[in-house]
Amino acid sequence: MSRGKAILSILAGVVLLAPFTGWSRGPEPEPLRPAATAFTVEIGRQSALDTYLSPVRYGGLSLALGYERLRATSFAPGQWLTRHAVTGTFASMTNTSGNGSMLSGYLDYSFAMLRRWQVCKGLWLAGGGEASLTLGGLYNLRNSNNPGSAKAAVDLGVTAMASYHFRIKRLPVTLRYQGSLPVIGAFFSPEFGQSYYEMFYIGNRDGMVHLGAWHNRVDLRNYISVDLHLGTRALRLGYRQVMRTTHLYHIDTQVFTHAFVLGISGEIFRSVRPARRIVSVYH
């Protein structure tokens, strides 16, 4: 057999065998990364002390609406996930003597990126960084001068999460804890006795924005939830604790919220191809 015929025979064999070898396989399709979303309603109690408005602590009913979205990242989906969370909170409070009222409103948004590790079957731990934005304020209905105290802050901090997926007989259950602690940022606060009229009408805006760290501002958020998976959706039960504190220019602010959480959660698929691998943030 001539050299040319031998080469042609080899090439023909390669072509015929290619469908049965790994050479014919293209790149593996990207795994499905369903977004785990939750819509929640919260009811609980809030207590607030803001010495810019009053030296007396107020307390009362707190209501909140929340939205949360978790999803594995497109890069390293098995190791990294992102979390978006938005919560709007409103509270109506009275002082201990019952002759004064205060209203509270906050809008919180946070974005976190977490690295996660599987400790054992069903148990995942995660930790990472978080950026957050807070807007809101307190309004004292008794005050005729300086009745309101605006709140605004941007922060960078740390967050941690633990989730455990198990079954109660045939019912899949996800138990999860999420904790967030801002480390450094900036926040708005007037000086003691400085009115909003001075700041926004006269133009005395010096010292309105301050560097925030643990020496003058400590916030803490804890969130525990249980998801009872009922088909494609889950019933969420939980508890949320939020602490907001600042101390600056002899002005103390302490706002504490404890709330029961009730909501609906579930995973949203953008594709329904069953052959693709699924990377869930639940398990």
What would the 3-class secondary structure string for 120-184 be? ECCEEEEEEEEEEEEEEEEEECCCCCCCEEEEEEEEEEEEEEEEEEEEECCEEEEEEEEEEEEEE
Contact 16, 26 (CB under 8 A): no
DSSP 40-75: EEEEEEEEEEETTT-SS-EEEEEEEEEEEEEEE-SS
- Please give the single-letter amino acid code of residue 81: L
- CATH number, position 82: 2.40.128.100
Give the residue-averaged pLDDT of 250-270.
Answer: 89
Residue 187 lies in a domain: yes
Residue 281 lies in a domain: no
Residue 51 lies in a domain: yes
Q: What is the pLDDT of residue 70?
A: 93
Domain residue limits at 39? 31-268
Residue 76 lies in a domain: yes
Residue 1 lies in a domain: no
- For 33, residues 6+ apart whose C-beta sits below 8 A from its C-beta are 71, 72, 73, 74, 77, 279
Q: C-alpha angle with apex 259: 258 to 265, nearest 5 degrees?
A: 140
Residue 144 lies in a domain: yes
Most confident of the ranges 29-43, 91-105, 187-201: 91-105
Question: Does the pLDDT of residue 207 top 60, yes or no?
Answer: yes
Q: What is the pLDDT of residue 271?
A: 55
For 108-140, how does the pLDDT look when each residue is reduced to its tens digit (9 = 90+)? 999 999 999 999 988 999 999 999 999 999 999
Contact 164, 121 (CB under 8 A): no
Integer Cα distance of 151 and 197 in angstroms: 16
Residue 25 lies in a domain: no
Contact 72, 98 (CB under 8 A): no
pTM: 0.84
- Work out the pLDDT band at 174, boundaries 50, 70, 90: very high
Computed over every residue of the chain, the mean pLDDT equals 86
Integer Cα distance of 135 and 107 in angstroms: 5
Give me the number of domains the chain comprises.
Answer: 1
Residue 280 lies in a domain: no
